[in-house]
């Protein structure tokens, strides 16, 4: 079995099952924290990372959105330094903070509005990396109602375990 980082996959949002609990944000933040521990991350870790998942709601409709990893991603063209790049193997759009100069053009061009300026770290943009470091994307794993799901390149649902 290929490791998480080796596989092409996409997150699918099913707003009809999104309860609006925003646990996805909690776990996204935790996953991208230094400690990766919910208690440590929330109680004392400074700066606390920003969520890379975007929660939207209007009336009973709600959903949480993250980078779509577009096939033809505008952020790639907009990036001056090449900090934003496409992983050829997996098709993911990733962001190299070291190269980022914080021009935030990517934020300007993103049609989904899912790249966020990281005010704490200044200058740097922050976006979903499909939890490269983890076994499974945190938002998918922890969505209590399976409103966020992961599919492989053929569109088959992937589940943890």
Partner 1 sequence: MAKAKKLSEFRVERDEEKCIKCQVCVRMCANDVHTYDPETDTVRADSFKCVGCHFCEDLCPTAAITIEYNPTQTKENAHWKRESIYDIVKQARTGGILLTGMGNDQAYKNYFDHLVLNASQVTNPSIDPLREPMELRIHLGRKPDKIDCRLQMTEEGRKKYQIRTRIPPQLELEVPILFTAMSFGSISLNACKSLAKAACKFGTYWNTGEGGLHRDLYPYAHRAIVQVASGRFGVNEEYLERAAAIEIKIGQGAKPGIGGHLPGEKVSEEISHTRMIPIGTDALSPAPHHDIYSIEDLKQLIFALKEATRYTKPVGVKIAAVHNVAPIASGIVRAGADFVAIDGIRGGTGAAPTIIRNNVGIPIELAIAAVDQRLREEGIRNQVSLIAAGGFRSSADVTKGIALGADAVYIGTAALIALGCHVCQKCYTGKCNWGIATQDPYLTKRLNPEIGAEHAGNLLRAWSLEIKEMMGGMGINVIDSLRGNREQLRALGLNEVELRLLGLKHAGEAW
Query: Residues interacting with partner 1, by CB under 8 A?
Result: 16-23, 25-27, 38-39, 42-43, 59-60, 142, 144-147
Of 100 and 147, which CB lies nearer to partner 1 in the complex structure?
147
Of 21 and 78, which CB lies nearer to partner 1 in the complex structure?
21
Q: 11: part of which helix (H) or strand (E)?
A: strand 9-13
Read off the DSSP letter of residue 111: T
Alpha-carbon gap, residue 109 to 92, rounded angstroms: 17
State the nearest-atom distance from the C-beta of 84 to partner 1, in Å.
30
Burial 110-128 (b: 16+ CB within 10 A, else e): beeebbbbbeeeeebbbbb
Backbone angles phi, psi at 77, to 5 degrees: -70, -35
State the nearest-atom distance from the C-beta of 17 to partner 1, in Å.
4
Is the separation of the CB atoms in 120 and 47 below 8 Å?
A: yes
Of 49 and 105, which CB lies nearer to partner 1 in the complex structure?
49
State the nearest-atom distance from the C-beta of 125 to partner 1, in Å.
24
Of 146 and 152, which CB lies nearer to partner 1 in the complex structure?
146
Of 26 and 105, which CB lies nearer to partner 1 in the complex structure?
26
Alpha-carbon gap, residue 42 to 58, rounded angstroms: 27
**Of the candidates 47, 16, 34, 14, the residue with the CA atom closest to the CA atom of residue 139:** 14
State the nearest-atom distance from the C-beta of 135 to partner 1, in Å.
18
State the nearest-atom distance from the C-beta of 92 to partner 1, in Å.
26
């Amino acid at each position: 079995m290929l490791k998480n980082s080796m596989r092409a996959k996409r997150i699918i949002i099913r707003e009809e099952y999104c309860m609006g609990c925003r646990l996805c944000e909690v776990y996204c933040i935790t996953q991208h924290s230094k400690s990766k521990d919910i208690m440590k991350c929330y109680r004392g870790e400074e700066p606390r990372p920003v969520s890379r998942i975007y929660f939207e709601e209007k009336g009973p409709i709600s959903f949480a959105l993250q980078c779509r990893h577009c096939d033809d991603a505008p952020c790639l063209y907009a990036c001056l330094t090449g900090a934003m790049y496409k992983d050829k193997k997996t098709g993911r759009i990733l962001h190299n903070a070291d190269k980022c100069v914080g021009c935030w053009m990517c934020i300007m061009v993103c049609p989904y509005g899912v790249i966020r300026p990281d005010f704490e770290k200044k200058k740097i943009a922050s976006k979903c990396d499909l939890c490269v470091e983890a076994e499974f994307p945190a938002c998918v794993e922890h969505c209590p109602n399976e409103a966020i799901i992961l599919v492989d390149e053929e569109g088959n649902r992937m589940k943890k375990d």
